[in-house]
Structure 1
Amino acid sequence: MGCNTVRYAIRDVAEMTGIKPVTLRAWQRRYNLVQPERTEKGHRLYTQRDVETIQRVQGWLAKGVSIGKVKALLESNTLPTEHDSSQRLDEAEQLLEALSVLDGDAVGKSIRFVLKEYPLDIVETRFVMPVLTAIDFVKMGQRSLQYALFRTLLIHQLLLMIQAESKKSGKRKYLLVNLDTVGNLFAWLFYARLVEQGGRVIFLDGVDDIGALFNKEVIAGYHGIHLFAEKSLSEKHLSVIREQRSNDLVPVYVSPVIEHLIDVEYDRKSQ
């Protein structure tokens, strides 16, 4: 059986690669990166070779290469490890120019494009993080304005994407609690990724006390609770989290920073 004998539906490919169906369609329509076969009813069918091509595209994007430049690199059979690229997407440069003159229309257009064309992990590491770093070097007055504009429009676009994805969510319901400041962009990106994975997600933004969170009546309807933070948490918070992770009421998942804080505190007490 040849490598192209098996055919995968677009949903299967999305699960295999982590790329949303809407993004896979955009890569085909706009950039001709992959041309899947079609059934009589017009449904896309991907071969194993198509899946491998998509994974190569992901490799280039992880290197910070703009989606519009990937096709030529694929055709030249250049390997991603051979490419010396910048650590941010080309679209980040365009967005920073728009931010410098507070052009809200251009900023919104740039964010919409990036969210549609790139996976969220690339959006976070090659777009959001470099943009925030660049804004940090702007003069104080302008810095506040640019950050406010970027945060407002990015959250707005993420919310639109989340609402669209939520319409296709399953019956399992999860609770996401942001223990960081209200409007933390990485908490919102985490929210969007959870929604993409399926299930209904209820998001509590900027919670500063979780003492009453783990009441049986409160969590009874949830299949899991996700806790997010990028800042240090009090020992009181960490104690609550450790206690709830050890019981069987509901699965409790924590972001990497919280996991690190728990491990550090555990090591300190063990010494």
Structure 2
Amino acid sequence: MSVYSIKDLEHLSGIKAHTIRIWEQRYDLFSPQRTETNIRFYNDVDLKLILNIAMLKDHGMKISKIVAMPMDLLEEGVRKISIENRSHQDQISALTLAMIDLDEEEFSSLLEESINMLGFEKTMMEIIYPFMHKIGILWMTNSINPAQEHFITHLVRQKLIVATDQAESSNSGPLFLLFLPEGELHELGLLFANFLLRSKGVRTIFFGQTVPIDAIEEVYLKLNPQFIITAMTTAPESKEVPKFVKRLGSKFQNCQVYVTGSRVIGQDLEFPSNVSILNQFDDLIELTQTLTIKQLN
């Protein structure tokens, strides 16, 4: 069972830690355990409860009425909201509940529902990535079981691969190479970038995880791509990132290189003239639109 701080509950539910403490005292809402240093911590049951409460409260129900409800009625009220009137935040909360229970059927059903309502691209941009961002913070602070993080990553990865296979890329026009540096395993962002490009009719070759830069150089010399995209979330090590970025610029001088990921976004780095940063997926969408216009002209 995972362990959460009160800040984790705030982060996932949107309810301030101060409010959670008040409810805890006033309504005897939780019975948190404490560390040896007397710091509260919460479990999966507590997280599910606060997520359910948050969803009902966001839809106009008073906290005094919510806490008086038997658990079966509370969960039924949440299910009714989920079916009848689900906001993006409701969807993210529902995905979180499915993750906690490792409920693959429910998680897949929620994804399909969002895709049917919003389309695949919007589901990824407006539901999955905000959700993954929240879960990623918990994963980095060891608040959730790594099995839970791998569980959702695997399911989202499957959806991305299927959607990309169904997208029709062009056999002409500029070519993008996409790869992750050696040691980098977090590929969802790059998989989505590959989907976005292909869905706009752009040619891509996706190389995936932990690829040596020298191997990409061989492909670059053979195929002469116009663009390269790579992402750095956990690799290279922070101190090695400036050197790696410089290598990208020197090895692929006749190519525009785009870099993204937490190792480069918001960092004080100097970029070679042919290396640029992608801060968000909207930057990539804007780039594909520019390329499409050029191809039409």
CA offsets 1:173-231 (integer angstroms, 9 cap, x no match): 32101226224322322232222332232211222520342237644253322122224
Other-structure match for 1:209 = 212
Distance 1:168 1:202, change over 3 A: closer
Other-structure match for 2:259 = 254
CA contact (8 A) 1:194 1:201 kept: yes
TM-score (norm 1): 0.54
Match of 2:202 among 190, 199, 204: 199
Other-structure match for 2:133 = 129
Q: Aligned partner of 1:220: which letter?
A: L
Other-structure match for 2:244 = 237
Q: Aligned partner of 1:213: which letter?
A: I
State the shift of 1:115 in Å: 4.1
CA contact (8 A) 2:185 2:209 kept: yes
**What SS does structure 2 have at the residue aligned with 1:128?**
helix
Match of 1:177 among 176, 179, 191: 179
Q: CA RMSD in A?
A: 3.6
Distance 1:136 1:102, change over 3 A: farther
State the shift of 1:105 in Å: 1.1
Match of 1:187 among 183, 190, 193: 190
CA contact (8 A) 1:91 1:127 kept: no
CA contact (8 A) 2:184 2:233 kept: no
Other-structure match for 2:155 = 153
Matched-pair identity in %: 16
State the shift of 1:168 in Å: 5.0
**Aligned residue-pair number:** 181
Match of 1:264 among 263, 269, 281: 269
Question: Tell me, which stretches of 5 or more residues in structure 1 are unaligned?
Answer: 1-65, 71-84
CA contact (8 A) 1:151 1:183 kept: no
State the shift of 1:124 in Å: 4.6
CA offsets 1:11-63 (integer angstroms, 9 cap, x no match): xxxxxxxxxxxxxxxxxxxxxxxxxxxxxxxxxxxxxxxxxxxxxxxxxxxxx
